[in-house]
Amino acid sequence: MALSVVVVLFVGTTASATPGKLRKYPGGVPGRYIVMLSESTNTKEVDDVVGQLSQKYGLEVKVTWRNVLRGFACAATEQQAAALAEDHRVAVVEQELEVNSPVEPSGMQWANHNYLGTNYYLWHLDRIDELTSAQMDSQYDMCPEARGVVAYVIDNGVSTDHEQFEPATEGGRVKLSIDATVAGFPFDTSNACAQTAETVGDWTFHGTGVASTLAGTTVGASKPIVVSLRVRECGGRALTSYSITAFDFIQSSSNPYVAYQGVANFSSTSPLWAAGGQAPVGWEQAIRGMVFPTTTVQQPRYGVPLFTSANNFSIDACNFAPAHWAYTNTNTAGFVFTVAGTDVVQAGAADSRWQTSGIGLNSGSNGGACVSAYAPAASVFHAKRPGDNSLYTFSSGTSYSAPLAAGVAARYLERRAALGYARTAPQAVYSYLLSQAQTAVQNTNTKEQWGCYNFLNGEMIFKADGSNCVAGKGPDPNNPATPYHFPSVTNSSNAKMLYSTVLPCP
Ligand SMILES: [Ca+2]
């Protein structure tokens, strides 16, 4: 039944992405590569090897990684990349991919959450501390608050002085902001984008919104220390290498919170169709390396669970990374916790997968076997950067369901610490959340859709029917009339509603 649904989308593709040392992708970023050094390279050798490779092949090295993987990002021509891949010191040369943040402003249409006869904005918090919607009580019990846990928000940056993070004059909970889009972190305040978008470069509301849903004093699921890792350029572009830099920083000795228990939230995804149906291997190793770091006596490192969004295309979440690598009841080899989204619910009504109305529309929550759990995603009230006459807005999207799970996890870590556990492994956090989630989500079929992929700009145009694509936009450049097919999928029957158990206060 639902558990056995596996979507194979790319049968017959002749795109250039052939697994091997050189991995080029139909939706890859031209001229940009991630290089993984051979397994035999030890950490101390990394700088020397990178220097030698850079000189020999004429590469422009952007950033070097030593912690979650040993490698680097570079600008190179196709010829340089091909030559580099032949070098025995290199394991993989992989073209970079773009990363997107799944969110859509919902405006104020859901502002009156009129259950219980009152206008109540914080339905997302009210719901997650009840087993069923019938028990919703206009309250959210945030105890313990997780003030001793660190939350890494890997996103567009965070407005550090927003009242939801207790402004600097009151001690501030956003303790560190790192710009992972440039090698010169910590945050480069000479960056023009930073200057025009308050102090930390959140040029959209996304990073501040996600951070507030995880850690906002009154709109968030917990109150941890926040470390902001910006992985999007001012102009909007986000590459896989930026988030690798963030994951690497988290497990580096440069991170002042490396010895803290922490959670990481990454409400962004990259579609596997851009990589010819494959999962990017450099990204996978970097994320795995953050969640399950290699620990030595000299350099103890502790795993940080990663919470990520299922994305909003009303299709199978397995089509997206990192969601693709989900830890679920049926896949405990997974290493991220993928959170799909539910709709606003009236008290007593069943929870349903968040979906937009109309056939063929593609902006509801993804579903399927790569969902670890569901949490509220529709019309979430959250902080945004100052301006536009308001400090708050509503948005819908699984960008907001993921940080709710991360916040609940942070509170669990604090509770475990209070009970005397020095460390709680990421698998234990994931498995705790799965064991708590008990209420099934209703009406969970995603929509059968077809899509035409524009190889020039990386955009997938979804369609309600299976009519042909125009030339150059099908999954197979040699057979361009064939659209991608996205079958309807149901939930994994084990994917249930997030439940934040009331824990004893300190
Ligand atoms: Ca409640």
C-alpha distances out from residue 96 to 243, 473, 502, 504, Å: 11, 21, 43, 46
Tokens found for residue 429:
């956090």
Q: How far is the CA of 124 from the centre of ligand 1 (A)?
A: 9
- SS3 (DSSP) at 362: coil
Residue type, 494: N
Q: How far is the CA of 148 from the centre of ligand 1 (A)?
A: 24
DSSP assignment of 45-63: GHHHHHHHHHHHHT-EEEE
Strands laid side by side in the 60-65 sheet: 22-23, 90-95, 32-37, 71-75, 60-65
Q: How far is the CA of 125 from the centre of ligand 1 (A)?
A: 7
Q: How far is the CA of 372 from the centre of ligand 1 (A)?
A: 22
Residues in CB range of 458: below 8 A, 6 or more apart: 27, 98, 274
The CATH architecture one would assign to domain 30-95 is 2-Layer Sandwich (3.30)
Tokens found for residue 486:
């996205």
The number of beta carbons lying within 10 Å of the beta carbon of residue 202 is 29
The reported pLDDT for the residue numbered 67 is 92
Cα separation, 483 vs 476, in Å, equals: 9
Residues in CB range of 367: below 8 A, 6 or more apart: 310, 316, 317, 340, 353, 444, 445, 446, 489, 490, 491, 495
Tokens found for residue 314:
């009303």
Q: How far is the CA of 132 from the centre of ligand 1 (A)?
A: 10
Same topology, domains 30-95 and 104-443+491-497? Answer is no
The reported pLDDT for the residue numbered 355 is 82
Residue type, 115: Y
Query: Which residues place a Cβ less than 5 A from the ion ligand 1?
Result: 126, 129-130, 137, 139
**Inter-residue contact 151 to 224 (CB < 8 Å):** yes
Tokens found for residue 120:
């109540």
Structure pTM? 0.90
The CATH architecture one would assign to domain 104-443+491-497 is 3-Layer(aba) Sandwich (3.40)
Residue type, 326: A
Ordered per-residue pLDDT tens for the chain, 506 residues: 333 333 333 333 334 434 589 999 988 899 999 999 999 998 899 999 999 999 999 999 999 999 999 999 999 999 999 999 999 999 999 999 988 875 554 444 444 444 444 446 788 999 999 999 999 888 888 889 999 999 999 998 888 888 899 877 777 899 998 888 876 454 544 454 554 444 344 556 788 899 999 999 999 999 999 999 988 877 677 899 999 999 999 999 999 999 999 999 999 999 998 898 899 999 999 999 999 998 766 666 789 999 999 998 889 999 999 999 999 999 999 999 999 999 988 888 899 998 876 545 667 899 999 999 999 998 898 988 765 567 888 888 999 999 999 999 999 999 999 999 988 999 999 999 999 999 999 867 788 888 888 766 667 888 888 888 876 555 555 555 778 899 988 876 679 999 998 777 76
Q: How far is the CA of 108 from the centre of ligand 1 (A)?
A: 22
The reported pLDDT for the residue numbered 18 is 41
Q: How far is the CA of 216 from the centre of ligand 1 (A)?
A: 17
The reported pLDDT for the residue numbered 2 is 35
Helix ranges (H only) for 340-419 are 398-418
Q: How far is the CA of 267 from the centre of ligand 1 (A)?
A: 24
Q: How far is the CA of 411 from the centre of ligand 1 (A)?
A: 16
**Inter-residue contact 60 to 75 (CB < 8 Å):** yes
Q: How far is the CA of 122 from the centre of ligand 1 (A)?
A: 10
Tokens found for residue 37:
């050094």
Give the residues across from 328 on adjacent strands.
Answer: 331
The reported pLDDT for the residue numbered 405 is 98
The number of beta carbons lying within 10 Å of the beta carbon of residue 110 is 18
Angle between helices 398-418 and 426-436 (to 10 degrees): 110
- Any idea which residue has 């305040």 for tokens? 189
Cα separation, 64 vs 72, in Å, equals: 4
Q: How far is the CA of 174 from the centre of ligand 1 (A)?
A: 27
Q: How far is the CA of 68 from the centre of ligand 1 (A)?
A: 38
Domain ranges in the chain are 30-95, 104-443+491-497
Q: How far is the CA of 494 from the centre of ligand 1 (A)?
A: 23
Q: How far is the CA of 218 from the centre of ligand 1 (A)?
A: 14
The reported pLDDT for the residue numbered 117 is 42
Helices (H) and strands (E) in the chain, counts: 9, 21
Q: How far is the CA of 207 from the centre of ligand 1 (A)?
A: 25
**Inter-residue contact 428 to 421 (CB < 8 Å):** no
The number of beta carbons lying within 10 Å of the beta carbon of residue 349 is 15
